[in-house]
Amino acid sequence: MPWRPSPAEVLAPLVRPDPWAISLAAFGKGIDNAHIDCLLSPRFLTQAGETIRKLVREDAASLSRRIPEQLVGAEDLAALRDTYLRLFDCALERHPGRDPRDNALLLQFAVLKYLLQLVAAETQSLQETLKTQLQSDLATDAALSTDLHEQLVLVTRQAQGIQRRVGQLLFREVRKLESTRLQNVRSAVLGAAWPVTDTLLFNPILLIPDPGEGLALAGDYPLGWLAGPAIGDWLAQTGRCLTQTFAPWLPGWMTGDGEGAEDAPPAQPPGHPKERRDQGQLRGFVATEILLERFVAREEYQQGLTSWLDEPANLRLLLDPETARHNWTGETQALVRSQTPAAPARPPPPDWARWRRELLEEVAAGLQDDGRRRAIEITYALPGLRTQLGQSFPLSLVLDYADGRLTRRRLEQRLAALRGGPDPLAVLQTLERLQALRLRQTPAAALDLIGHYLVDFLTLRRDLKLAYKTFETLDAIRLLETDDEARLSRSNGSLHEFHCRGEGGPQTRRIRSHAVLKADVRGSTLITEELRARGLNPASHFSLNFFDPVNRLLPEFEAEKLFVEGDAVILALYEYVDDGPGLAVARACRLARKILQVVNVQNARNRQLKLPDLELGIGISFSRREPNFLYDEGRRIMISSAINQADRLSSCSGLLLRSGFRPANGAFRVAVVRDAIGGERAGPGRDLLPYNVNGVKLDETAFLKLQEELPMGQLRLSDPGAQESLFFIGSYTDDDALMHWVLLRHAPVRDWDGDTVGAIEPDRRHYFELIVDEALATQARRLGVGGAGGKDAR
């Protein structure tokens, strides 16, 4: 029986990367409820935008010129690096309350997404510019039109190459900073040079718009030439060979043998791709997933599961230990050094050498079907062939000729059909030399080539998996581009801003809670009709006598006008994060009294003009949450359940008004009764009828907040109709050292039979009213505080 090492002996020197998990869970969703909103420094955007625009045009110009035009100098790249450095320096210093690692992680991916998108956008913009120039100059200058047409054809054909080359240059510039100050700053603040492994960020796949296209992939991965249809699905075939050969040393979730259950991913519905938020902004995302689907299990690449196959140097270690150790990355070497178990004693070298050779022969045998092994040999010879025969020479011709599917005569015909193709005789001579070299190749050399191919295959496999996780993270980020979007996200507290030092940006205080006051104006329709009948202007009447006076009150109470309708005004009063104890409800109560005074003044004027009186119903609600905001043509619109609640509080039942209902005590302006006749038919919660005529009603949340704002005492009054009410009284001093009193009534809901008020209703519900009657307020204040108050009371 041939000797085989134990699994422990095989796995001991191998490195398994940590699972590739990137979490942005620390950041909430933005205004579209799907992405994380980010706003990058205007200085960085300007510098990067101008530099990338020049780089794209410089690369495009080099396609048609022997001496390329230099548009980007060393000073431009230095300025870009400097701005990039300042951006990250500032990000690590800002937001002391947030983990700087989260900040650095989000900024790193936001910048990466911006650079990738901008390179693609500038390439597309150049094509559109050339098309526009061609259309405008076509009829005027034939020579210029011909030149523009040639440029357009070159840029269109080489668009992916332009993006890749410009992206590579940007990656190099960014990486230069890692060997200087930024690396030290990050290490000091984060404990690491990068918030994630840099292979997630500087990945060649990210720079390829369509990794499924062999020509684009072959620029960084020689085996990309195998993507042609002539050899079938080479990715899946190679993956199966590796999995079958190394099954004893792979986790169970890769081999399907049920072992390694602790590593097994949770079951996923078949054929259920992961949700993608952006459509088309990152073209490589879709192409990468399509390519991965061909040879990697969906659970593996979606969840970032890893095995020792995800470090390609591990395979080289098995096949050629000494060479592998020299080829390991610094990160892998660090992982090896950190492994605590010592490698077990190994059997004599001849046994290991024989076992390694047998492994390689087993994989090579699996690749022999359908001519794949011959295709691999030709693929690695292709760079030399293309140097001799021209870049346009296709791999398919080489494969077909080598396999005997193409005769010499037919090859000559195919070559003649190639536009600008090489000399057919030179091609035949070169291919014959290649065939001769292949036939003279020793078995050992052939196996070495297979080993080289397998390591390259694992490199591509790893990079595709890494690119998927990177694209997935970039897909969760939205770079805001308009002022309205930024203002809206900032108002909703969902914007993550990254500025360079000295670019403060708009400073917006975060709202922690808010009160809403709605004044429901009744009687405006009758007044409007009467004014029109007299030939007077209703708009100016209401503006001068109601809306303008109310507007003048807002700065004093730090209130914001949310809506103004023909018969209603809705106001908001905010409390902000990092502020001390707020008085939002107390201020709203005092503002409500002021608005009632405005209406009283207008009613006095209306009576002089023999116009009907205005009635007012005011509701005050409170929310302990930050509101959301929308923008309509630059106008901010608040979205909050407190608005609807204030609307209900300000309303008054038409049934009660038509019946002539009035509270038992004339000082009370608010009441709630249960419809004892038709209320049961109305359904739960709809059996209550509100009454609010020139009164102020609060919800329970506002009452509880007021108790937090003011020390409040309790008292009972013996006045008619007040015996069953409990009164709360308190005061506060404003910034001008003036004292203001607040008196609230807590009253039970009573039954109403359509004519008279009866007993307290069975569920013993209650409501809150702000007392605005001056006589009752003065009486309560004297009873509650022994006559305190004085001339400064309001």
**88 to 82, 418, 500: CA distances (angstroms):** 10, 51, 8
Query: Contact at 8 Å (CB) between 505 and 499?
Result: yes
* Domains defined for the chain, CATH in brackets: 36-202 (no CATH), 210-239+278-321+351-492 (no CATH), 511-784 (3.30.70.1230)
DSSP-derived letter for residue 753 is -
Residue pointed to by tokens 């548009």 = 71
478-492 burial string, b = 16+ CB within 10 Å, else e?
bbbeeeebbbbbbbb
- Return the sign of the alpha-carbon dihedral for residues 496, 500, 506, 509: positive
pLDDT computed for residue 335 by the predictor: 42
**Among 260-264, 483-487, 611-615, 703-707, where is mean pLDDT lowest?**
260-264
Q: Which residues contact 488 (CB under 8 A, 6 or more apart)?
A: 31, 629, 630, 631
**DSSP for 595-620, written as a single string:** HHHHHHHHHHHHHHTT-PPPEEEEEE
For 711, the 3-state DSSP assignment is: coil
How would residue 116 be classed by pLDDT, with cut points 50, 70 and 90? very high
Averaged pLDDT for residues 661-685: 80
Query: Contact at 8 Å (CB) between 68 and 58?
Result: yes
Q: Is the pLDDT of residue 39 over 60?
A: yes
C-beta contacts of 452-457 below 8 A and 24+ residues apart:
452/380, 453/223, 453/376, 453/380, 454/238, 454/242, 454/315, 454/363, 455/312, 455/313, 455/315, 455/316, 456/221, 456/222, 456/223, 456/312, 457/223, 457/235, 457/238, 457/242
Three-state DSSP string of 82-98: HHHHHHHHHHHHCCCCC
CA 191 to chain centroid, in Å, comes to 26
Q: State pLDDT tens for residues 710-727.
A: 999 999 988 888 888 999
Query: Contact at 8 Å (CB) between 447 and 368?
Result: no
Tokens of 787: 């006559």
How would residue 429 be classed by pLDDT, with cut points 50, 70 and 90? confident
**DSSP for 167-191, written as a single string:** HHHHHHHHHHGGGTHHHHHHHHHHS
For 144, the 3-state DSSP assignment is: helix
Q: What is the Cα–Cα distance from 642 to 649, expressed in whole angstroms?
A: 10
How would residue 189 be classed by pLDDT, with cut points 50, 70 and 90? low
pLDDT computed for residue 324 by the predictor: 43
Tell me the average pLDDT of the chain.
Answer: 80
pLDDT computed for residue 776 by the predictor: 92
How would residue 65 be classed by pLDDT, with cut points 50, 70 and 90? low
Q: What is the Cα–Cα distance from 159 to 174, expressed in whole angstroms?
A: 23
**300 to 254, 263, 429, 503: CA distances (angstroms):** 8, 11, 47, 43
Query: Contact at 8 Å (CB) between 753 and 662?
Result: no
**DSSP for 497-519, written as a single string:** EE--TT------PPEEEEEEEEE
| Burial tier of 540 (Cβ tally within 10 Å: 0-12, 13-18, 19+) | exposed
Rg (CA), the chain: 39
pLDDT computed for residue 113 by the predictor: 94
pLDDT computed for residue 34 by the predictor: 85
**DSSP for 648-709, written as a single string:** HHH---HHHHHHT---SSTT--EEEEEETTTHHHH-TT-SEEEEESSEEEE-HHHHHHHHHH
Q: How many residues does the chain have?
A: 794
Q: Is the pLDDT of residue 287 over 90?
A: no
Q: What is the Cα–Cα distance from 97 to 510, expressed in whole angstroms?
A: 14
**Among 537-541, 735-739, 766-770, where is mean pLDDT lowest?**
537-541
Max mean pLDDT among 256-270, 670-684, 710-724 falls in 710-724
Percent of the chain with pLDDT over 70: 80
How would residue 620 be classed by pLDDT, with cut points 50, 70 and 90? very high
Q: Is the pLDDT of residue 342 over 50?
A: no
Q: What is the pTM of this model?
A: 0.69
How would residue 137 be classed by pLDDT, with cut points 50, 70 and 90? low
How would residue 387 be classed by pLDDT, with cut points 50, 70 and 90? low
DSSP-derived letter for residue 297 is -
Q: State pLDDT tens for residues 120-133.
A: 999 999 999 888 88
For 15, the 3-state DSSP assignment is: coil
